[in-house]
Amino acid sequence: MIFTKTTIEGVYIIDLDIKGDDRGFFARTFCREEFLAHGLEPLVEQCNLSFNHKKGTLRGMHMQIAPHPEAKYVRCIRGAVYDIVVDMRPGSPTRFAHVGVELSADNRRGIYIPPYFAHGYQTLTDDAEVAYQVSGRYAPQAERGLRYDDPKLNLSWPLEVSVINDKDLNWPLLANRSEADFDHI
């Protein structure tokens, strides 16, 4: 695997180190030892698969706080998505900064998302599938979220939103929340 640091400490784009021949190719998509060598959380408590019917669907921005923080390793295995992560770590010099990357079945790219980062994506194709490896179980009491269109974040999505669920649409804006809502680290 090829690990590329982003502008935010702890967030990595992970490309496959493809070994090809006349049969096709082989590539490792996860290796505990390689994750540890880069200082990343290699534990996998849960694996999730998300299927999205319509181009423009937006999911996110989700995270969990202590005592149930999650690191995620996300890859798009069918179609394409634009994935954004937002640093929500209290005291971080890049708090509220974000990184965006296109993940697709064609580029086979993944993104590693540390704990205390909000995560979301928008589908760029119909019938997009996204696979997640997650370091912790889902704990509704620890779930937090951000509005995809919060002016404080200034996130730039590539398409008009075609589908979004009520929960994601109705997260309060950061201006109307206490930062302590996210500070249970």
Catalytic residues: 62, 132
H-helix or E-strand spanning residue 37: helix 32-37
Q: Tell me the pairing of strands 80-87 and 19-21.
A: unpaired
List Cβ<8 Å contacts ≥24 apart for 29-35: 29/1, 29/75, 29/110, 30/1, 30/73, 30/133, 31/1, 34/1, 34/3, 35/112
Six-digit token string for 10: 């702890």
Give the residue among 117, 133, 119 at the shortest CA–CA distance from 46: 133
